[in-house]
Amino acid sequence: MPAQGGPLTRALLNEEGTKVQKLFKAATVAVISSLALAGCAPTSDPTTVVLVTHDSFVMSEELQSKFETESGYELKLVKAGDTGSMTNKLILTKEQPIGDAVFGIDNTLLDLAAENELTTSKLVPIDFADVCFNYDINWFAAKKLPVPESINDLALPQYKKLTVVSNPATSSSGMAFLATSIAVFGEEGYLNYWTQLKRNGVKIVAGWEDAYFSEFSGSSGRGKYPIVLSYSSSPAAEVRENGKSQTASIRTDCYRQTEFAGVLTGASNPKGALELIEFLKSSDFQASLPENMYVYPIDSNIALPDSWSKFAPSALTLVGEELDVAGNRKQWLKAWSALFE
């Protein structure tokens, strides 16, 4: 099992002030340098607007062209890892922001964004999705193994070494599942549940894309794990030529994740950033979300694809909405990280 959290995450969780400051300064230089080398350095060009996003963000060429034509700005995208990693990078570079706007900070990270004053105003909701486990239907059929019915089942011996999840310290979906486990098993029981998962061979990876596209057998077919932490809408992306999806979701005890956008503090082009956020709220962009990113548009007037009622229904039961993620995030991550060191 890989080391949990990387140096940036450990720095965020470390409470030794002087050491943290030194680590932050060193990491900030490294991040800014790497972004500059990749052609992602901040721009002061008033005709360009730079959007910082997570790696799963998709905007078609047609939509990008539409925004550029209507606004008069050239749009540049900076993809900065999974949502957790992206937020960490924005914190580390907030004195020299790497973009004008951000998309993808979710409800588990709102407190961290506010605490560090990453945006100039309240973040705006753009889309939502339900974090649930997915399983490879074909794999389970071939093995003649009953599919798990709840997150409790994942700790059972028959599902040993079958599950991959993303790290809650670096991934928003991972943090959503950590919150799910706390909502289901309570403050006194969630670490015991994670201990059982660890003994049962759960695989921990840095982010959702690593888990879903590299480790999960139901997407690429190359991974060896038939159970993955993903979204209730993900099976809509796995419909094969026979008209059936290779995957399905465990739609109980899921966590609703909402993604937000905002103008970054210190943005070179705040006016352009505001126009871009308005575009993300527009019916054209909202209508593209189901098929491009497999999430639900925040605009309830947008019609969903016909196949979504069959392959991408929302969760049956949601948990965790009552949790104080802002007040407990650091201690939850510290306890979880100690278990997986």
Residue 319: CATH number of its domain: 3.40.190.10
In a domain, 309, yes or no: no
Is residue 223 one of the residues assigned to a domain?
yes
The three-state secondary structure class of 258 is strand
Q: Is residue 147 part of a domain?
A: yes
Contacts of residue 280, defined as CB under 8 A and 6 or more positions apart, other chains included, come to: 103, 124, 126, 261
Co-location of 34 and 169 in the same domain: no
- The residues pairing with 239 across neighbouring beta strands, listed in sequence order, are 245
Residue 291 in any domain: the answer is yes
Q: How confident is the model at residue 42 (pLDDT cuts 50, 70, 90)?
A: low
2 lies in a domain? no
Residue 311: which residues within 8 A CB-CB, separation 6 or more? 235, 236, 239, 245
Can you tell me the distance from the alpha carbon of 234 to that of 294, in angstroms, rounded to the nearest whole number? 6
Looking at the structure, tell me whether residues 204 and 333 fall in a common domain.
yes
* Structural domains in the chain (count): 2
Residue 191: its pLDDT value, please?
97
Q: Are 90 and 264 in contact (CB under 8 A)?
A: yes
Question: In angstroms, what CA-CA distances link 225 with 115, 207, 247, 269?
Answer: 37, 15, 13, 44
Q: Which pLDDT does position 45 carry in this prediction?
A: 72
Q: Are residues 243 and 329 both part of a single domain?
A: yes
Same domain? For 112 and 135 the reply is: no
Q: How confident is the model at residue 127 (pLDDT cuts 50, 70, 90)?
A: very high
Task: Name the DSSP class of 266.
Answer: T
pLDDT score, position 43: 53
Average pLDDT over residues 315-322: 94
Number of C-beta neighbours around residue 16 at 10 A: 9
Local structure of residue 116 (DSSP, 8 states): T
| 137 and 114 in a common domain | no
Give the span between the Cα atoms of 273 and 275, in whole angstroms.
Answer: 5
- Is residue 93 a part of any domain in this protein? yes
pLDDT in tens, 159-182: 999 999 999 988 889 999 999 999
Residues 172 and 246 grouped into a single domain: yes
Amino acid at 144: K
E runs forming strands in the chain? 48-53, 74-79, 101-106, 124-136, 163-166, 203-205, 227-231, 247-263, 296-297
The model's confidence at residue 133, banded by pLDDT at 50, 70 and 90, is: very high
Give dist(CA 297, CA 304) in Å, integer: 9
CB atoms closer than 10 angstroms to residue 184: 17
Count the Cβ atoms, other than its own, within 10 Å of residue 295. 21
Is the domain of 146 the same as that of 292? no
175, 109 in Cβ contact below 8 A? yes
pLDDT of residue 216: 97
Is residue 1 included in any domain, yes or no? Answer: no
pLDDT digits (tens, 9 = 90+) for 12-37: 334 333 333 333 334 443 444 444 43
Do 244 and 266 lie in one domain? The reply is no
For residues 59 and 315, give the distance between their C-alpha atoms in angstroms, rounded to a whole number: 26
Instruction: Assess whether 179 and 319 both reside in one domain.
Output: yes
Residue 310 domain-assigned (yes or no): no
- Does residue 231 sit in the same domain as residue 272? no
Domain residues for 168? 130-256+315-340
Q: Report the chain's mean pLDDT, rounded to a whole number.
A: 87
Residue 90 CA to its chain's centroid (Å): 15
**What pairs with residue 245 in β-bridges?**
239
Q: Are 47 and 72 in contact (CB under 8 A)?
A: yes
Based on the fold, state whether residues 173 and 71 are members of the same structural domain: no
Q: Who's near 178: CB < 8 A, 6+ residues apart?
A: 168, 190, 332, 333, 336
User: pLDDT tens, 187-233?
Assistant: 999 999 999 999 999 999 999 999 999 999 999 778 999 999 999 99
Q: Are residues 222 and 286 in the same domain?
A: no
Q: Which long-range contacts (CB under 8 A, 24 or more apart) does 274-280 make?
A: 275/49, 275/71, 275/73, 276/49, 276/51, 276/67, 276/71, 276/73, 276/75, 276/100, 276/101, 277/101, 277/124, 279/67, 279/70, 279/71, 280/103, 280/124, 280/126
For position 317, what pLDDT does the model report? 96
CA distance 38 to 15: 32
**pLDDT at residue 44 greater than cutoff 80:** no
